[in-house]
Copies of this chain bind each other. A is one copy, B any other.
Amino acid sequence: MDLLLRNVRPLGATAVDVLVRGGRIAAIGAGLAAVPGVAEEEGGGALLLPGLVEAHTHLDKTNWGRPWYVNAVGPRLEDRIANERLWRAESGHDGGAQSLRLAREFLALGTTRLRTHVDIDTDAGLKHLHGVLATREALREQMEIQVVAFPQSGLLVRPGTAQLLEEALKLGADVLGGLDPLAIDGDAAASLDLLFGLALRHGNPLDIHLHEGGEDGARTLEAILARTGASGMQGRVAISHCFCLGDVAPARRAGLLERMARLQVAVITTGTASRPVPPVMECLAGGVAVAAGNDGIRDAWTPYGHPDMLERAMLVGLRNNLRRDDEIALVLDAVTHAGARVCGFDDYGLEVGCRADLVLVRAQGIAEAVVARPRRQLVVSNGKIVARNGALQVVPAAHADYDYP
């Protein structure tokens, strides 16, 4: 199952060959010698990207591939939360089947590592978690999936949720999630104390959804930063959305970014077009790492989203008005190297020794790949060819031990 990939251009550089052995990149260079017994694949001068990284999605929520969900919800956040909980309970929606369906689509489009938040609440309990853990297991050979135990309906505000989160971590969730400690839980200090306490007790990193805008959001962010430093969790906390960074004054933002950089707290952005967002170039200039994600895809919240991280990179670029080739390279970085660093995916990249996660597209360079989002000519994950021209090759379509409805 080893592979010699001929004539590909890593991130647009001169064409080389790439030898994959035992799931790793074993050699990179021009005119590599053929290896007896190793299959060769002609790249045809395609652009070679490392496997794409989705840093923020909700696989378990998606309606992907099911009859269309007619959205007539909103406009308040609380309406959407309540509507979704009800719909998921009543519609026969299954987080296991759906997460597998969407993860396979991500893989077909070149995403080989992915962080997904799984709804945990006192109505559904750990039902959705079990489904997503089954998906993670089913795709273990093909994809690295990180599971975030996520209190979508609130933490303090729904007693019993903390216990469920602990249970989720014991069952194998990789990351502890949080949600708007002020806007949803109503008491940022108490909510964050509880959350950080759980994270420390179980040794998991944190990824906190922070939709809170303006000065409210900035104060919550400060409360998160204070606890990050006090608990020694530097480098293990990410803030998803972090909209407040987009709508505080520049000097206030600069101060927050400076503290985030010092504490190695990362931003995970979706490049939401309809509200203020963290300005990517300012974050990077301030030393704050930026990863990117779709957020939910075609679910009860939103009909938008596509399991294509090149499209997400484009949307982040559009949102931040990044038009220059050197700027667009930075949004590609958010869905590749920086995404992997923020999530803590190991052995990532196009270097010898890295896990062989490779994507080929027909594009002259990075900027064209992002704006044109070409067909994925070939996707190699963990050393094996998993998709050609957008179509999956041999990838499990079910997990044997999961009880699909």
Contact = CB atoms under 8 A, between A and B. Distances in A.
Contacts of A271: 273
Indicate the member of A68, A301, A304, A317 with the most B CB atoms within 10 Å: A304
B364 A67 contact: yes
Contact of A323 (B67, B68, B71, B368): B71
B324 A71 contact: yes
B320 A303 contact: no
B304 A371 contact: yes
A367 interface: yes
- This chain: how many copies in the complex? 2
A367 B71 contact: yes
Contacts of A368: 68, 303
Nearest to A371: B303
Indicate the member of A73, A303, A328 with the most B CB atoms within 10 Å: A303
Given A273-B318, A274-B321, A319-B274, A364 B304 contact: no
Nearest to A368: B68
Contacts of A328: 303
B71 A298 contact: no
A130 B367 CA distance: 31
A314 interface: yes
Contacts of A303: 323, 325, 328, 367-368, 371
A339 interface: no
B365 A72 contact: no
B274 A365 contact: no
Give the interface residue-count category, chain A: 35 or more
Contacts of A326: 72
A340 to B, nearest CB: 25
A25 interface: no
A342 to B, nearest CB: 22
A302 interface: yes
A328 B274 CA distance: 15
Interface in A267-307: 271, 273-275, 298, 301-306
Nearest to A297: B371
A75 B318 CA distance: 15
A364 B63 CA distance: 13
A131 B389 CA distance: 36
10 contacts: A68-B368, A71-B325, A72-B325, A72-B326, A74-B323, A273-B318, A273-B321, A274-B320, A303-B371, A306-B372
Interface of A: 67-68, 70-74, 271, 273-275, 298, 301-306, 314-315, 317-321, 323-326, 328, 364-365, 367-368, 371-372
* Chain A to chain B: the 7 pairs with minimum beta-carbon distance, closest first: A274-B321, A273-B273, A68-B364, A273-B319, A273-B318, A303-B371, A71-B324
